[in-house]
Amino acid sequence: MSPFFPPEYKPTMSQIQTERAIKYIKDTFERELSAGLKLSRVTSPLFVPRGSGINDDLNGIERPVRFAIGNLDNMEMEIVQSLAKWKRLALANMGFKVNSGLYTDMNAIRPDDDIDAIHSLYVDQWDWELVIGNHDRNVEFLKRIVKKIYSALKRTEFLVSEMFPHCTPTLPDHITFIYSEDAQKLYPELTPQQREHALAEKYGAIFLIGIGSPLADGISQGGRAPDYDDWSTASDEEHTGLNGDIIVWDSIRQDSIELSSMGIRVDIETLLRQLEIRNCPERAELYWHQRLLKGELPQTIGGGIGQSRLCMVLLHKAHIGEVQASVWPQEVLDAAKRQNIVLM
């Protein structure tokens, strides 16, 4: 039995059909997302200057891909790991107003990422960011935006099933909101990943609120950089954080899969607090951080939505390599060949 693919899994689409379906999903979801959140499409960079603070540090340990530009005195650049900070700069520089925003195709390389059925060195996602008012910095506003995104997912799923009838809908009608603190109390004996599995299997689709702060057992539900999502703001006496993940149940792999990481972004107070918590206050001197501290960046909410992962779920694929071109270990390629699975 292959440890990489479900033993009875057989692709239901040819490679050319899969390519057509991927294009249809991406075109459809972009339209639904931009309409639901009033987002304008913009062009984004593949690389940014090293040391500017614009690149996403993720959990603070992942190495960005770096290179020098020979014709610019060997200026060092970094391939983006995400566009979490760049989008906020773009909103300020382009003069977006409250309740308007942008989305873009984000293509990144994360050389330290896992390589498995849902992880790849190549990351493709829709990055989006929306300007909000100070009064919107609360969990109820966060939930309203999540519901709009989930509605876009559901509409896309329905249209895909109409175009490709064997891609039957599996997402529930509604997404369930759960605080990470409550999940830890409900399943204290489970790891964070195991809790996501249990809750996604139970509800079909969840938004897990509060990613980054340590829970009662001292372990956080997941990693977040200190300078984009607001994960330390107390929204009430029990719960912390104004961010979260959209996680759904993957019926093919019989496992949970995260489709989106998102949240209300740091304001001046939250940025300084979270830099202290993570013991990196010196980061406040970087270009991006100085723009925020000087009040030059708008208040925003934003996130990323995995393109290949969404295609996996809607097309009932067992491996991200079926919908994305990347590199895979030879043992994975051999296992795929034995089961007549094409990896791009």
261 a catalytic residue: yes
Report yes or no on 6 lying in a domain: no
Contacts of 231 (CB under 8 A, 6+ apart): 210, 211, 212, 213, 224, 240, 241, 242, 243, 263, 274
Asked if pLDDT for residue 328 goes beyond 80, the answer is yes
Report yes or no on 4 lying in a domain: no
Report yes or no on 260 lying in a domain: yes
319 DSSP assignment: -
Q: Which of 202-216, 226-240, 260-274 has the weakest average pLDDT?
A: 226-240
Q: Read off the amino acid at residue 309.
A: R
31 a catalytic residue: no
CATH number at residue 136: 3.30.930.10
Domain that holds residue 326: 15-338
Asked if pLDDT for residue 154 goes beyond 70, the answer is yes
Concatenated DSSP letters of 74-99: TEEEEE-S--HHHHHHHHHHHTPPTT
Bridge partners of residue 261, in order along the sequence: 245, 304
Report yes or no on 344 lying in a domain: no
**Per-residue model confidence as pLDDT tens digits over 301-316:** 999 999 999 999 999 9
Which position among 78, 127, 245, 322 bears the catalytic label? 245
Q: Look at residue 57 in the predicted model and tell me its pLDDT.
A: 66
Which position among 81, 213, 261, 308 bears the catalytic label? 261
Pairing label, strands 101-109, 66-69:
unpaired
Q: Do the Cβ atoms of 154 and 195 come closer than 8 Å?
A: no
Is residue 257 classed as helix, strand or coil in its secondary structure?
strand
Cα–Cα separations (whole angstroms), residue 266 to 96, 116, 218: 18, 32, 23
56 a catalytic residue: yes
**Per-residue model confidence as pLDDT tens digits over 156-187:** 999 999 999 999 999 999 999 999 999 999 99
136 DSSP assignment: G
Q: Which helix (H) or strand (E) holds 69?
A: strand 66-69
Q: Do the Cβ atoms of 247 and 256 come closer than 8 Å?
A: yes
Report yes or no on 129 lying in a domain: yes
**Both structure tokens of 93:** 């520089």
Report yes or no on 10 lying in a domain: no
Residues above pLDDT 90, as percent of the chain? 65
Q: Read off the amino acid at residue 1.
A: M
Mean pLDDT over 1-5 rounds to: 69
Phi/psi of residue 145, nearest 5 degrees? -70, -40
Which position among 32, 34, 44, 56 bears the catalytic label? 56
Is residue 231 classed as helix, strand or coil in its secondary structure?
coil
The total number of structural domains in the chain stands at 1
Q: Look at residue 1 in the predicted model and tell me its pLDDT.
A: 46
Contacts of 312 (CB under 8 A, 6+ apart): 118, 250, 252, 257, 318, 319, 320, 322, 323
Q: Look at residue 61 in the predicted model and tell me its pLDDT.
A: 64
Q: Look at residue 84 in the predicted model and tell me its pLDDT.
A: 84
Q: Look at residue 110 in the predicted model and tell me its pLDDT.
A: 82
Which position among 44, 82, 120, 125 bears the catalytic label? 125
125 a catalytic residue: yes
Q: Do the Cβ atoms of 208 and 260 come closer than 8 Å?
A: no
Mean pLDDT over 148-152 rounds to: 98
Mean pLDDT over 1-16 rounds to: 83
195 a catalytic residue: no
pTM over 0.85: yes
Report yes or no on 268 lying in a domain: yes
Which position among 182, 258, 278, 326 bears the catalytic label? 258
Which position among 88, 110, 137, 265 bears the catalytic label? 110
Q: Do the Cβ atoms of 270 and 235 come closer than 8 Å?
A: no
Angle between helices 15-37 and 307-315 (to 10 degrees): 120
76 a catalytic residue: no
Asked if pLDDT for residue 7 goes beyond 90, the answer is no
Report yes or no on 343 lying in a domain: no
